[in-house]
Amino acid sequence: MFRERRPLFPLFPLKSIQSSIAFAFSVLILLTIAATSLFAYRLSVNAVERNSKGYIQEVINQVNTNIQSYVDNMENISLLAMTNKDVKYYISSNSFIGNEGRRPYEKRISDLFQSILYTRKDIASIMVFGYNGRFVSDRRITTLNPNAKVEEQAWYVNAQREGGKSVISEPHVQNIIQNEYRWVVSLSRELKNSDGMTADGIFLVDLNLSVINDLLSQINLGKKGYVFIVDGSGNIVYHPEQQLIYSNLRSEQIAEVVRAGSGTTFKVEDEEGKRFYSVKDTSFGWKIVGVAYAEDLIGYKSTLINFLFITLGGVAVSLVISVLLSRRLSRPIRNLQRNMRKVEKGNFDVQAEVTQMNEIGQLARTFNMMVGQIKNLMQEIFDTHENKRKSELQLLQAQINPHFLYNTLDSIVWMAETKKHEEVVEMTSALAKLFRAGITKEQELVPIRIELEHITNYLLIQKMRYSSKLDYRLEISDSILGCKTLKILLQPFVENAIYHGIRNMPGSGTIVIRGMETQDGIVFEVEDDGLGMTEEQLEKIWEAPDGEWKNGGIGIRNVNERIRLYFGQAYGISIRSELAEGTCVTIRIPKIEGSGGMG
């Protein structure tokens, strides 16, 4: 988890929170918009596809209706011919009409056909071929193409095969009339005798293919869309690019179309583009197919364009909003940052403004608290320092207590007058050592051995002054001699013991100084068997405002404070005293080995 990882490239190279937030917002917005766009795009595509399918269906239904009407018309004409008596007589196998008598029949039939032809521009020709070798057409004089055998024509053969039912041919070139080669769709049917059983001939109506061609070529299914027709077995009846299909330059989905049912639509997507095929079956076996290209469909593209503009606009607006929002969000943070900079420069009086109760507001409050605490701590440190300095000064004063000095010098003078040379030497050297111990050492902590030496010198001087009135004993265990202690720690207590405990008592007094190791550290005891104190006196000592015991000595309280400053609250002084019994001062300090130190 805490393995150091460095990104391959700075993935998030933005330094300020504002830009990070802006970036995050932008990503979010872009994603949302992209997702919505995709969704809406899909929806619109589906809608367009649905619409286009409906549109093609409608178009081919229309085509179907039109073609159907042509076919119906041909059918009606054939019915007309079928029921016409003249036609029946004329082609009847057992006809009594002789060769001479057939002219009026021919004329009447021809007139009938002609009148039909006048009303129908879509019909190319109407003909009847009798099995008796006679034939009539819509024109008076008809020369048949001698090289085209009527009996071999597909429409003739098919009509014979169907035996009375009408047959629609594929579009073909009608070549049975000499010098005429017209593209037509033929409807043919076998004509029955009046008995309804024997066949007498074939009736033929030709529909001009141009009618269908015009119809289909007028249909607009977009720029590339088109309509084509196949027959039931998949042969192309009509296709705008039939020639290309025959020469394999173009392919058509014939197989799919043949498989598709009437009224269905299927989608084809290949290198030619996405397109929809709608198939409609006619009643006479053809399949009309409408093809529309997706890209052609109106609305498809314009929808997309609108869509893109809206999307781009949305992105632009949301980017601006995200920048503004991120600025607004990061403003309190920037304010806080400014305040922190002031603190950096040392101004601890700064208070951040707490305007909102959100995370940043809480942060500002915590910051304020922190700054306050730092300020207090600094004050405390400052005070502690001050106190230390004061106590050191007092220590120095204690050391060079002028009364003590005068008294000692008086004693030396007195001893010199009484010519006690040895004592003078002894006392003077002790005094010198006493002062050297206090002044020369810079460090606060000294080995107990040195402190012991110091107190010994002090006691030596006092003993010389008070001679038999003062007795003392030093009981310091050897194990602690190397340990460190505060310097001149014991002297104030010894001094107090002498001046307040022993000096004013009637008999002689003894001071015992003990030093021993305990579980928690080192304990010194300064015990005298002097006057002792009442409880009130004891309390007063602690309460002494400037910490003085009496006559300018160093205060107990100050010493206690000094110990605690150095070693902590667990250490210090306790006093036990009883009137007329004596006083015992206990000093606790930690055990600090000689070489080590508190620094």
Partner 1 sequence: MRIQRFTVGMGLLVAATALFLVFYFQLYRGGSANEPRIAVMLKSTNVRSDFWQTVREGAVAGVKGSGARLEVMGSLQDTDAAAQVRLLEDVLLRKPEALVVAPIEDAGVRKVLARIREAGIKLVVMDMPTDPDLDAVTLSSNYAEAGREAGEIAVAETAGAPRVAVLSDYESSSVSAERVKGIREAIDANENSFVGTFYSENDEDRAYVLATNLLSSEPDMNAIIALSEPAALGAAKAVEEAGKQNVVKLIAFDSSLYEIKLMEEGSLSAMIVQRPFNMGYLGVRTALKLIDRKPVPRMTYIDSIVVTRDNMYSPENQKLLFPFR
Question: Which residues, other chains included, contact 212 with Cβ-Cβ below 8 Å and sequence gap of 6+?
Answer: 67, 70, 171, 185, 229, 238
* 37 lies in the site for partner 1, by CB under 8 A: yes
Residue 170 or 548: which CB sits closer to partner 1? 170
| In contact, 225 and 290? CB cutoff 8 Å | yes
* 44 lies in the site for partner 1, by CB under 8 A: no
Question: Which residues, other chains included, contact 138 with Cβ-Cβ below 8 Å and sequence gap of 6+?
Answer: 110, 113, 114, 116, 117, 125, 126, 127
Selected from 3, 15, 121, 223, the binder of partner 1 by CB under 8 A is 223
Task: Please work out, in degrees rounded to the nearest 5, the angle formed at the alpha carbon of residue 579 by the alpha carbons of 575 and 580.
Answer: 120
How near is the Cβ of 19 to partner 1 at its closest, in Å?
A: 14
Residue 119 or 179: which CB sits closer to partner 1? 179
How near is the Cβ of 35 to partner 1 at its closest, in Å?
A: 9
Residue (of 447, 469, 439, 482) closest to 530 by Cα position? 469
* 324 lies in the site for partner 1, by CB under 8 A: no
How near is the Cβ of 246 to partner 1 at its closest, in Å?
A: 4
Residue (of 443, 489, 505, 520) closest to 585 by Cα position? 489
Buried-exposed string 556-583: b where 16+ CB fall within 10 A, e elsewhere: bbbbbbbbebbbeeebbbebebeeeebb
Which contacts (CB < 8 Å, 24+ apart) does range 511-515 have?
Answer: 511/459, 511/470, 511/471, 511/472, 511/473, 512/472, 512/473, 512/475, 513/455, 513/472, 513/473, 513/474, 513/475, 513/476, 514/475, 514/476, 515/448, 515/452, 515/475, 515/476, 515/477, 515/480
Selected from 175, 264, 456, 586, the binder of partner 1 by CB under 8 A is 175
Specify the stretch interacting with partner 1 by CB under 8 A; choose among 49-57, 172-180, 483-491, 528-536: 172-180
* 12 lies in the site for partner 1, by CB under 8 A: yes
* 15 lies in the site for partner 1, by CB under 8 A: no
Selected from 17, 24, 343, 575, the binder of partner 1 by CB under 8 A is 24
Angle between helices 17-83 and 209-217 (to 10 degrees): 160
- The owner of tokens 């929170």 is 17
Residue 118 or 246: which CB sits closer to partner 1? 246
How near is the Cβ of 168 to partner 1 at its closest, in Å?
A: 15
Tokens of 474: 């030093």
Region label for 590, one of left (φ > 0), alpha (ψ between -120 and 50) or beta (otherwise): beta
| In contact, 548 and 397? CB cutoff 8 Å | no
* 414 lies in the site for partner 1, by CB under 8 A: no
Q: Which helix (H) or strand (E) holds 127?
A: strand 123-130
Region label for 304, one of left (φ > 0), alpha (ψ between -120 and 50) or beta (otherwise): alpha
Selected from 131, 183, 284, 435, the binder of partner 1 by CB under 8 A is 183
Rounded to an integer, what distance in angstroms lies between the CA atom of residue 576 and that of residue 338? 58
Rounded to an integer, what distance in angstroms lies between the CA atom of residue 187 and that of residue 74? 7
- How do the residues of the chain divide into helix, strand and coil, expressed in percent and rounded to 5? 50, 20, 30
Selected from 27, 310, 378, 396, the binder of partner 1 by CB under 8 A is 27
Residue 246 or 382: which CB sits closer to partner 1? 246
What are the beta bridge partners of residue 588?
Answer: 523, 572
Selected from 304, 323, 333, 340, the binder of partner 1 by CB under 8 A is 304
Selected from 293, 493, 549, 566, the binder of partner 1 by CB under 8 A is 293
Residue type, 216: L
Selected from 17, 44, 82, 170, the binder of partner 1 by CB under 8 A is 170
**One symbol per residue from 489 to 528: x for binding partner 1 (CB under 8 A), - otherwise; what is it?**
----------------------------------------
Specify the stretch interacting with partner 1 by CB under 8 A; choose among 87-95, 237-245, 325-333, 438-446: 237-245
Name which of residues 240 to 259 contact partner 1 (CB under 8 A): 240-244, 246-247, 249
Selected from 17, 19, 30, 193, the binder of partner 1 by CB under 8 A is 30
Using DSSP's 3-state secondary structure scheme, residue 169 falls into coil
- The owner of tokens 């002498």 is 498
Residue 297 or 486: which CB sits closer to partner 1? 297
Selected from 2, 3, 4, 7, the binder of partner 1 by CB under 8 A is 7
How near is the Cβ of 380 to partner 1 at its closest, in Å?
A: 40
Rounded to an integer, what distance in angstroms lies between the CA atom of residue 148 and that of residue 171? 17
How near is the Cβ of 71 to partner 1 at its closest, in Å?
A: 20
Residue 79 or 148: which CB sits closer to partner 1? 148
* 308 lies in the site for partner 1, by CB under 8 A: yes
Specify the stretch interacting with partner 1 by CB under 8 A; choose among 100-108, 166-174, 429-437, 531-539: 166-174
First to last CA, the chain: 38
Residue type, 152: E
How near is the Cβ of 30 to partner 1 at its closest, in Å?
A: 4
Task: Please work out, in degrees rounded to the nearest 5, the angle formed at the alpha carbon of residue 306 by the alpha carbons of 300 and 308.
Answer: 100
Rounded to an integer, what distance in angstroms lies between the CA atom of residue 212 and that of residue 64? 11
Specify the stretch interacting with partner 1 by CB under 8 A; choose among 7-15, 461-469, 493-501, 543-551: 7-15
How near is the Cβ of 333 to partner 1 at its closest, in Å?
A: 19
Name which of residues 191 to 220 contact partner 1 (CB under 8 A): 209-210, 213
Name which of residues 125 to 154 contact partner 1 (CB under 8 A): 145, 147-148
* 233 lies in the site for partner 1, by CB under 8 A: no
Number of residues interacting with partner 1: please give it, by CB under 8 A: 46
Specify the stretch interacting with partner 1 by CB under 8 A; choose among 70-78, 88-96, 303-311, 446-454: 303-311
* 5 lies in the site for partner 1, by CB under 8 A: yes
Rounded to an integer, what distance in angstroms lies between the CA atom of residue 491 and that of residue 497? 10
Residue 231 or 444: which CB sits closer to partner 1? 231
Interface residues with partner 1 (CB under 8 A) are: 5, 7, 11-12, 24, 27, 30-31, 33-34, 37-38, 41, 145, 147-148, 170, 172-173, 175, 179, 181, 183, 209-210, 213, 223-224, 235-236, 240-244, 246-247, 249, 293, 295-296, 301, 304-305, 308, 311
